[in-house]
Amino acid sequence: MPGYELIGKEEKRNLIEIFEKSNGVFFAHGFDKLRKNKFRVRQFEKSLSKKFKINYCQCVSSGTAAIKVALKALNIKPGDEVITQAFNFIATIEAILDVGAKPIIANIDETLNMCPKDLEKKISKKTKAIIPVHMLGFSADLKNILKIANKKNIWVIEDNCEAVGSKYKNKFLGTFGDLGIFSFDFGKNITTGEGGCIITNNKKLYINCKEYHDHGHQLNPKFPRGNDTVKIPGFNYRMTEMQGAVGLAQLKKINFIINENKKRYKILEKKLENKFTIRKCIKDNEPSYDTFMFKVRDKKIKLKILNSLRRGIGTKNVPDAMKWHCAAYWGHALEKSQVIHAKKSLNLLNNYIAIPILLKKNLVFYKALANDIIKIK
């Protein structure tokens, strides 16, 4: 379920406190006396680090910004190549292009995430980073992707925007690569409206992210912010205190969200697995269960199922927003050869339907939904 379904009194209370206890300071830096030393974004970062068992966290204005900041932290520059996957969101490609690098597309496999075999074929002397994307709650094949990256000495950025809270080998996704990316936009597992973060155990990379996202500010304790020291040019990708306040409330709800997701997901899985092929989950992955994907080869049955879903719950990205989630459609951003290569992934995705898992649709609804799908011939 998206976190927006649970926005309520906790988020409202945290927002009101900015007015009542911090004189309406929405900026994440400075104004210490006026805000009475209450820093909500910094608190949110600490809470995220503690929750996801990671050393460093830098909040930013969006998941897209987080990818770009991560690329800049790794010093990815014009002439470099960055490999990501065909089933994705256009934001990953946009961030690669925005730092002047060249996006290279690897196809997906039956997990609907990056195919390690195709990844290995795409590596060249210019490859500087790999961005596997944990799409719609499920982990990419991290074991083999990291093995390839380590062998070739290539950076790995985990794009975990769509799987916040999911685990692999009992460890949170986003914590395996050199850098991990979260999104908190309005449709994600937890939301701050817009917003995102970069997580890492590498102190140097964290400092790079911290400085770049804030115009190069080093936040040198020896100087006031207006006379701060600087070593690199940066940009403005700062999160606001309002976003941080909402995030603090949302983060406390993530366990409930995933547990409720799982109940609904398992109802669909149990009832549909004998008739359809369910999306493959890699061994040791505990998904966030926010999307149920299943394969329907018969085009006529698929169309009937889609028509039925449109009357009750709709679909999630597949197939309703494929143009924004598959590289085969991105001729405006990719070289023709990359677009053509991605058509293999498009053909695979065209067999799937993705059902959103929503809190406001109870267990009885999902049981009835599954029964209705089974009856379609």
Predicted local confidence at residue 12, as pLDDT: 98
Q: Same structural domain for residues 139 and 94? A: yes
The pairing of beta strand 291-295 with beta strand 352-356: antiparallel
- Domain shared by 216 and 271, yes or no: no
pLDDT number for residue 115: 98
Closest CA to 186 of 40, 7, 314, 333: 7
**What is the SS3 string spanning 270-315?**
HHHCCCCEECCCCCCEECCCCEEEEECCCHHHHHHHHHHHHCCCCC
Ranges under pLDDT 50 in the chain: none
Q: Which of 208, 228, 251 is the last residue of a domain?
A: 251
Q: In what order do the strands lie in the sheet with 167-168?
A: 171-172, 167-168, 285-286
Tally of structural domains, the chain:
2
What's the mean pLDDT when you consider all of the chain?
97
Predicted pLDDT of residue 312:
86
The answer to whether residues 24 and 112 belong to one domain is: yes
**Which residues constitute the domain of residue 117?**
3-251
- Which residue, 61, 122, 195, is CA-closest to 342? 122
Q: Which amino acid is at 265?
A: Y
Residues 102 and 142 in one domain: yes
Give 306-350 pLDDT, tens digit per residue.
999 998 899 999 999 999 999 999 999 999 999 999 999 999 999
332, 201: one domain: no
Asked whether residue 236 falls in the same domain as residue 265, the answer is no
108 & 37 share domain: yes
Domain boundary among 204, 232, 251: 251
The CATH number linked to 179 is 3.40.640.10
Q: What is the pTM of this model?
A: 0.96
> Are 184 and 309 part of one and the same domain?
no
* Strand order from edge to edge, sheet including 81-85: 56-60, 196-200, 179-183, 155-159, 127-131, 81-85, 102-106
Whole-number pLDDT of residue 224: 87
266 shares a domain with 216: no
| Whether residue 213 sits in one domain with residue 89 | yes
Which of 203, 223, 251 finishes a domain?
A: 251
Locate tokens 């490609």: which residue?
93
359: CATH: 3.90.1150.10
Residue 199 shares a structural domain with residue 273? no
And the tokens for 233? 């040019």
Q: According to the model, what pLDDT value does residue 30 have?
A: 87
> What are the residues facing 106 on neighbouring strands?
85
Q: Which helix (H) or strand (E) holds 151?
A: helix 142-152
Instruction: Note whether 77 and 220 are same-domain residues.
Output: yes
188 catalytic per annotation: yes
Q: What are phi and psi of 159, to 5 degrees?
A: -85, 95
Question: 122, 188, 210, 361: which one is catalytic?
Answer: 188
Instruction: Give yes or no for a contact between 345 and 87, defined as CB atoms under 8 angstroms apart.
Output: yes
Phi, psi of 232 (to 5 degrees): -135, 150
What CA–CA distance (Å, rounded) separates 324 from 346? 12
The one-letter code for the residue type at 177 is G
